[in-house]
Structures are given as structure tokens and as C-alpha cells.
Amino acid sequence: MRLENRVAVVTGGAAGIGKATAKVFVEQGATVCICDVNEAAGLETAKTLGCTFNKVDVSDRQAVQEWIDEIAEKYGRIDILINNAGILQDGVFVKVKDGELVKQMTEEAFDSVVDINLKGVFNCAQAVAPYMIRQGAGSIVNASSVVGLDGNFGQTNYVATKAGVVGMTKVWARELGRYNIRVNAVAPGMILTDMLLSMPENILETFKQKTPLKRLGTPQEVANLYLFLASDEASFISGEVIRVDGGIVIGT
């Protein structure tokens, strides 16, 4: 029971990596509170796992603050934040044909991904940090991605947010370390979530062949790293970005 008596907050917890994380945290003794914008899936996950669910858009600062305040009031503390929520809206940066611009990533696509993947991480961490400071301990784990480290074709917005998460992680590790708060990031590679499974089979096969382990990862394998970083076993690890990717280097 590596998380016994801990209160853990998981964003994007209704499905995929977030759901797998909530499950393993419950199994390891934590009181788990998840949020998601998918209310039906969130309620089902909460019922199945025995955790609490709130419908929260992490880009909505007031909604985030109200949710975190409610958790802190109910349980008296918040020990772990897993900043897992994220979205994709891929598109080429610019496409030119015969000297004419024919396509480009829209401002709306850029802004929406930044709002969830970057500002959402900021909102949740800033809401949780004062509670962790007062109790003198905490662990924040942020979801980055291998593409935030390597870049990837057609993902200007997503890559920008995941690289930004790495930067914020390192800043917060420096600023919050004096309060015994550890801040780390996880950089998953190609993981078998609904988001990835929506891609054509030939694309998935390409990912497998480019991964040295010759397979895709599972949500459980990412959740296991979240668990480690949230637990006392990682008590002297902070400011790190750890890849869970089977050895893949995007773009090669």
C-alpha cells in the first residue's frame, strides 16, 4: 500500500492513462479524486474504481479552484497531483502549393490545445500548491510527451504545450522544493489509448516498427511510473522528465 492515507488528484481520469492511474492509486491505498470533461465516462470510472468524480474543464481556472478547494475541505489535505488531462488537434503549420498558401494550422486549434495542455496544467498546479506548502509535502507529476522532447510533424500546438510542461516542471521543482514538494514530468511515447487507436492500422504499425521494443505501450505502464513518482520511493527525485516510450525517437 504505497499510497496509504494519501489524497490524490488525477485530471483527465475518465479513460486511458488517467483511468489506469486512478485504478492503481486506489489499489495502493490512496483516496482518489478524478476530473474530466466526459461526464458519462467519469461517473462510470468513479463507480467502478471507488473514487470521486467531478466534471471539470482544466482550462477554466475558477472551476479548477472550486474543485481543489472542495477536495481540500473534505479530506483536509492534497498529497498528489497528476496533471494528466490533454487533447490533440493536429495539423500542418503551413502548406504551400505552387507558391500559394493552401492550408495552415488555425489559431483556434492552437489556442484550444494550449488552453488544456499548458494552461490547464498551470491552473491545477497553482490551485494545489498552497495546500501542499501548508502541509509541508507533496508530489506533482505533469504529463509531457516524447514529442515535447523530439518534435513531431503536424503537431506544432501539441509539441509546444508538451515542451512548455517540461519547462514549467523544472521551474516548479526549483520554487517548491524548499517546501518538500517534488515536481516531475512523464513523457509517454506511443501508448494504446483511445486517442492512438483512432489512427489507421498502418500508422500504428509504423509506430511499432520505429519503437526498438517493437510494440506500443499500455496505459498501465505509464500509470506505474506515475505511481513511482508519487510515492516515497521517489523521495529524492525532482525536476526530472522520464520517458516511457520503448526507446522510440520521434522522426527517425
List active site positions. Answer: 158
C-alpha cell recorded at residue 53: 468524480
C-alpha cell recorded at residue 228: 513511482
Distances (CA, A) of 188 to 9, 208, 225, 250, 252: 19, 14, 10, 12, 17
* C-alpha 157: how far from chain center: 16
The Cβ of residue 193 has, within 10 Å, a number of other Cβ atoms equal to: 20
Angle made by CA atoms 173, 175, 178, in degrees to the nearest 5: 90
233: left (phi over 0), alpha (psi -120 to 50) or beta: alpha
Distances (CA, A) of 107 to 35, 90, 93, 100, 121: 27, 12, 11, 19, 20
Q: 3-state DSSP call for residue 37? A: coil
- For 175, the enclosing helix (H) or strand (E) is helix 156-176
The Cβ of residue 125 has, within 10 Å, a number of other Cβ atoms equal to: 21
C-alpha cell recorded at residue 188: 509517454
